[in-house]
């Protein structure tokens, strides 16, 4: 391993020669959240294998513990949760602080709206600025009582749980968090809840509910319906490796010379693999092996090798399949020949940071020609400028990790401040980065 690579509390990255080796990334964050949230509603105990222990997922677990759910092993990768059934949650004796996790807040709002008790949810400054009306408006149509700033658009939010009624909701945004929130509320609603989205978003909630025996159906690729059922069946679950985490090392291998990395046991749910499709269109040498299905989620090993990349256009239906990976895709685009155009990605404006602005600012600092668009960016591939560059992560884990990968190619290296945010999704990032670097 290259001893020149040093990573401290403020992330200091110096250039390396190549990436090499095999590794595994931590469990998928989206699936880990859902395993906790549904696990507490099952009839009986389950083990969640390969659970992601990160700040975001721990905030979900702590919220459930405050509502009477017994959870053991959170300091390990194998978590045991004792489900108390659909009506087993109890009123928390304090505010549920969800930190930086938008997934925790939006999905929990669906569950809390159907309870028979009072609750309050809040988060850090970033989460309290993220829009919640996209879920509170349809929840109110189901009969929920939710109060908060600007007509329940911003946390803190107060929920007075009550019996809900199913609705037929057509969302104007393609968001798994919106869809999942309403599907989870449908578990507690009278009648059937139907959610239609404009473009298919990730479907981990639907797959997991079907695995646990819920009365959930797909009417077509964009429409999901759920009807409440007396109980959900307890079955152990395995959390595949997170493709969003794997993406950093895949692209690291592509842009560094003489590199080859294999990442084992990665989830390749087709609603999440847009990044692989785009990278292959750019000329990336990526192969998938050892395909299998585990608790209704497809899994494979992914190998990436040094590649000559070309610019491309990223827009339309593929955007929901790679929305979280756009910051690291932008790093690949900066190393590619020609121009990469990213459009229809306005959702990036309301993530942990305004990722359109923070990515374009970062690439400009690196000497890359980039134009900010209202819903994306245009990146002209080129050479990163030399020098000891300094960045702020803006408290956004994906910005911090993406520019850490870029730093591996920058003469003089870079320093990224405010990198504690990496712990929200990928605490093992720096260790894996060290182990693959030569």
Q: Has residue 108 been placed in a domain? A: yes
Q: How many CB atoms lie within 10 A of CB 21?
A: 17
**Position 388 confidence tier, pLDDT thresholds 50, 70, 90:** confident
Same domain? 193 vs 259: no
With tokens 């993220």, the residue in question is 130
Q: Has residue 6 been placed in a domain? A: no
The string of pLDDT tens digits covering residues 310-325 is 999 999 999 999 999 9
Same domain? 292 vs 367: yes
The string of pLDDT tens digits covering residues 118-175 is 999 999 999 999 999 999 999 999 999 999 999 999 999 999 999 999 999 999 999 9
Pairing of strands 313-314, 339-342: parallel
Same domain? 234 vs 244: no
Question: Where is the domain boundary, 213, 238, 263?
Answer: 238
- Is 321 in a helix, a strand, or coil? helix
DSSP 30-43: HHHHHHHHHHTTSE
Same domain? 226 vs 249: no
The string of pLDDT tens digits covering residues 364-376 is 999 999 999 999 9
Same domain? 132 vs 249: no
Q: Are the beta carbons of 436 and 20 closer than 8 angstroms?
A: yes
The confidence score (pLDDT) of residue 319 equals 97
The string of pLDDT tens digits covering residues 167-209 is 999 999 999 999 999 999 999 999 999 999 999 999 999 999 9
The confidence score (pLDDT) of residue 2 equals 43
How many structural domains does the chain have? 2
Q: Show the domain range for 250.
A: 11-26+240-436
Percent of the chain whose predicted confidence (pLDDT) is above 70: 98
Residues identified as active-site:
324
Instruction: Quote the CA–CA distance of 196 and 221 in Å, as a whole number.
Output: 9
Q: Has residue 4 been placed in a domain? A: no
In sequence order, the 6+-apart residues with CB closer than 8 A to the CB of 62 are: none
Select the more confidently predicted residue: 412 or 19.
19
Q: Has residue 418 been placed in a domain? A: yes
The string of pLDDT tens digits covering residues 230-284 is 999 999 999 999 999 999 999 999 999 999 999 999 999 999 999 999 999 999 9
Mean pLDDT computed over 5-21: 81
Residue 13 has pLDDT above 70, yes or no: yes
Question: Where is the domain boundary, 187, 208, 238?
Answer: 238
Name the nearest CA neighbour of 205 among 236, 227, 184. 184
Same domain? 20 vs 41: no
With tokens 């702020």, the residue in question is 392
Same domain? 109 vs 15: no
The confidence score (pLDDT) of residue 74 equals 94
CATH, residue 21: 3.65.10.10
Q: Has residue 385 been placed in a domain? A: yes
Average pLDDT, the chain: 95
Helix then strand then coil, in percent of the chain rounded to 5, is 35, 30, 35
Same domain? 151 vs 254: no
Pairing of strands 297-305, 260-267: antiparallel
Same domain? 48 vs 187: yes
Strands (E), 197-271: 215-220, 223-227, 237-238, 260-267
Residue 177's Cβ-count burial label (10 Å; 0-12, 13-18, 19+) is: buried
Name the nearest CA neighbour of 176 among 148, 153, 202. 202
The confidence score (pLDDT) of residue 337 equals 98
Q: Has residue 328 been placed in a domain? A: yes
Is residue 363 within a helix (H) or strand (E), and if so which, with residue range?
helix 355-365
The confidence score (pLDDT) of residue 270 equals 97
Question: Where is the domain boundary, 212, 238, 264?
Answer: 238
Same domain? 254 vs 226: no
Q: Has residue 1 been placed in a domain? A: no
**Position 387 confidence tier, pLDDT thresholds 50, 70, 90:** confident
**Position 7 confidence tier, pLDDT thresholds 50, 70, 90:** very low
Is residue 409 within a helix (H) or strand (E), and if so which, with residue range?
none
Same domain? 306 vs 412: yes
Residue 406 has pLDDT above 80, yes or no: yes
Residue 8 has pLDDT above 50, yes or no: no
Same domain? 275 vs 216: no
Mean pLDDT computed over 36-59: 97
Q: Has residue 94 been placed in a domain? A: yes
């Amino acid at each position: 391993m290259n001893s020149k690579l040093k990573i401290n509390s403020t992330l200091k990255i110096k250039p390396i020669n190549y990436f090499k080796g095999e590794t595994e990334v931590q469990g998928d964050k989206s699936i880990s959240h859902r395993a906790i949230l549904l696990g507490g509603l099952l009839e009986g105990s389950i083990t969640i294998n390969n659970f992601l222990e990160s700040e975001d997922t721990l905030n979900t677990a702590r919220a459930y513990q405050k509502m009477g759910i017994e959870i053991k092993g959170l300091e390990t990768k194998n978590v045991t949760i004792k489900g108390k059934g659909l009506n087993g949650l109890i009123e928390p004796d304090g505010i549920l602080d969800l930190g930086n996790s938008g997934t925790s807040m939006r999905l929990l709002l669906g569950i809390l709206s159907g309870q028979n008790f009072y609750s309050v949810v809040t988060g850090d400054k970033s989460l309290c600025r993220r829009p919640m009306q996209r879920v509170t408006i349809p929840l109110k149509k189901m009969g929920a009582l939710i109060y908060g700033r600007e007509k329940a658009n911003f946390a803190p939010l107060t929920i007075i749980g009550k019996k809900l009624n199913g609705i037929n909701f057509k969302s104007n945004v393609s968001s798994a968090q919106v869809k999942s929130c309403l599907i989870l509320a449908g578990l507690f609603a009278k009648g059937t809840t139907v959610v239609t989205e404009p473009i298919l978003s990730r479907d981990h909630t639907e797959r997991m509910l079907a695995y646990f025996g819920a009365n959930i159906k797909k009417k077509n690729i964009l429409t999901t319906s759920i009807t409440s059922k007396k109980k959900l069946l307890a079955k152990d679950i395995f959390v595949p490796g997170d493709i969003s985490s794997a993406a950093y090392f895949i692209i690291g291998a592509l842009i560094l010379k003489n590199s080859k990395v294999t990442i084992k046991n990665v989830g390749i749910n087709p609603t999440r693999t847009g990044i692989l499709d785009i990278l292959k269109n750019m000329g990336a040498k990526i192969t998938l092996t050892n395909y299998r299905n585990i608790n209704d989620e497809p899994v494979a090993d992914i190998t990436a090798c040094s590649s000559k990349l070309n610019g491309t256009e990223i827009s339309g239906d593929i955007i929901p399949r790679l929305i979280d990976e756009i910051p690291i895709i932008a790093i690949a685009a900066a190393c590619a020949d020609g121009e990469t155009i990213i459009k229809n990605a306005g959702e990036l404006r309301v993530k942990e940071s305004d990722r359109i602005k923070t990515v374009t600012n970062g690439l400009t600092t690196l000497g890359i020609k980039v134009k900010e668009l209202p819903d994306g960016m245009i990146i002209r591939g080129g050479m990163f400028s030399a020098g000891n560059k300094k960045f702020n992560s803006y408290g956004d884990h994906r910005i911090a990790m993406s520019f850490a990968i870029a730093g591996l190619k920058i003469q003089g290296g870079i320093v990224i401040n405010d990198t504690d945010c990496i712990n929200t999704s990928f605490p093992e990032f720096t260790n894996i980065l060290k182990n693959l670097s030569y």
